[in-house]
Structure 1
Amino acid sequence: MADEIKYEYKTVQTVRGTDSLVISKMQKDGWELVERGQGRLRSTLEFRRSKKPLPRLLIAASAAAFVTLAIVIGVAAAFSDEDEKTDGAGTSTATASAKPSTAPSPTTTEPAATEVITPQNNPEFARLLKVDSCSEANLNFATRYKGKTIGFNGSIVDMAPHGNYKTRYDFLLGPGDEGPKTAVGPAFKYEDAGISDLKLTGKKIPAAVGEGDKFRFVAVVGEFNATQCLFFLDPVSTEIR
């Protein structure tokens, strides 16, 4: 039927304590909560919202623009081929008469040591460790420092198998020493990581790790998922504390 409402659907997984924040954010974007699955440490939220049909005039205009773009690309390619033929004819003589360069090769230099951002040398990072896990400060920091290396004292808030794997896990990390009771700071996540990926260091390296264990985490900044309130990191080293 022409008036039938069509929906798009989205599934969001949240960590404990962030359900209401995520639901509020999704509702502001026009999503409707239709189902909630409550786990011990995670919730699965199902949302839907109505699809807006594209106006016929817009579809026709897009098709016309595509055809015009194809014509322009074809003409530009033709002129480019002619220019290459002309340039090739004039270049052969100049190449034959050119003398080999006698300039010395540049001296190679050793790469600089990676600078680690810590709460002690970066006030912005120090503030980040005290904000809410869904705060916009997380997105701002991830955008500005993506690919940079950070170091902080923290603990494992949650540890669960990744998918059906038995030796690969999703680690939820928090700043401080509270483990599963962590209530302040970003929800840092190592996704699909084995114990060897943590690169454990220290005087006494354990055979296994678990919730509540305290470490000095050094990691590379990744993306921040504002919907799930998760701040993704890639492990560099994990020192026993």
Structure 2
Amino acid sequence: MVTTDADVAYETQTVRTIRGMESRAVKKWETDGWELVGQNQGRVKTELTFRRPKPKSRRLLWIIGGSALALLLASVITIGTISERNAETAASAEATSAPSIEASPAPTQPSASPTMASAAPTESAAPAVAEPGSAVLTPKTNPELESIVALTDYCSPDIAAFAAAHRGETIAFPGYVGAMAPHGSAKTRYDFLIGAGDFSETSDAGPAFQFRDVNAINDLKWMGTTPDSIGVGTNLSITAKIVEYEQSSCLLLLDPVATAAR
């Protein structure tokens, strides 16, 4: 079967560059997978138009660390059964016994083998959301964030620019779990693809946020009532620090500060 342009949905991008620098700009954009389809020269600047096939839905194909991974769309994690990477052996040995010493006191730091009781938010997690004067960007208070969470192209250069300008800052927004998978060969650590807004089967606007290599209890820093399970389609309130934007995968990596079910 021959695929024609009529069968492919394209996205376009217009770039302006100083005359004489066109070849450099074309090379850069073609390296990123764009095709030059138009060129309009002005007196000082040249307008270049590029196109490329629209990315498949992030729920159909998830690029993790530069390699394609099929989404686990039916995956659900039961929060109460998750432990840290090295806790599985101890957990199975103590399944019918009383709680271990690590789990019984109210810890100031998350224990290595959390139960549902120990998954409750710790004092160290609370100030991230409630501390007065903390600079937390939200779609309502920051026009840039409001703009990028409404984008339909999660590879938009605007997302890369936002991440570079606000790296290390904290953002908060309503989101959802769009996909998840074990991190590498780990059994209790995961990569979560986070979308903006409410979960939908038909649309997925905003950046492709990602929590990478996290345990679903301690690392997500649950606030309020911890849900019994988390899976694709779970709606959340997200507070997280911007780590970086990966140009190769179009993933905007976040470090969880506080997570709440909604």
- Under TM normalisation by the shorter chain, which class is it? 0.5 to 0.7
Does 2:209 correspond to 1:207?
no
Distance 2:208 2:32 in 1: 25
How big is the shift at 1:232?
0.5
How big is the shift at 1:184?
1.2
Residue in 2 aligned with 1:140? Answer: 161
Distance 2:187 2:61 in 1: 18
Question: Cα deviations across residues 182-212 of structure 1 (Å, max 9, x unaligned)?
Answer: 421100001000012001112x312331110
Does 2:122 correspond to 1:120?
no
Alignment of structure 1 residues 54-65 onto 2, 5 Å: none
Give the match's secondary structure for 1:227. Answer: coil
How big is the shift at 1:239?
1.0
Q: Which amino acid aligns with 2:204?
A: A
Distance 1:177 1:213 in 2: 9
Q: Which amino acid aligns with 2:147?
A: R
- In structure 2, the CA distance between the partners of 1:217 and 1:112, relative to structure 1 (3 Å rule), is closer
Give the match's secondary structure for 2:160. Answer: helix
Do 1:174 and 1:182's aligned partners in 2 also have CA atoms closer than 8 Å?
no
Question: Cα deviations across residues 143-172 of structure 1 (Å, max 9, x unaligned)?
Answer: 100000000001000011001111100000
Identify the structure with bigger relative contact order (alpha carbons < 8 Å, sequence gap 6+): 2
Q: Which amino acid aligns with 1:238?
A: T
TM-score normalised to structure 1 length = 0.55
Identify the structure with the greater helix proportion: 1
Moved over 3 A (4+): 39-45, 179-182
Alignment of structure 1 residues 230-241 onto 2, 5 Å: 230-241=251-262
> Number of matched residues?
146
Question: Cα deviations across residues 116-146 of structure 1 (Å, max 9, x unaligned)?
Answer: 1001111111001011200001111011000
TM-score normalised to structure 2 length = 0.50
Question: Cα deviations across residues 80-111 of structure 1 (Å, max 9, x unaligned)?
Answer: xxxxxxxxxxxxxxxxxxxxxxxxxxxxxxx9
Q: Which amino acid aligns with 1:229?
A: C
- In structure 2, the CA distance between the partners of 1:175 and 1:143, relative to structure 1 (3 Å rule), is same
Distance 1:239 1:192 in 2: 19
Gaps of 5+ in 2: 1-9, 12-26, 34-58, 69-130
- In structure 2, the CA distance between the partners of 1:218 and 1:30, relative to structure 1 (3 Å rule), is closer
Residue in 2 aligned with 1:65? Answer: none
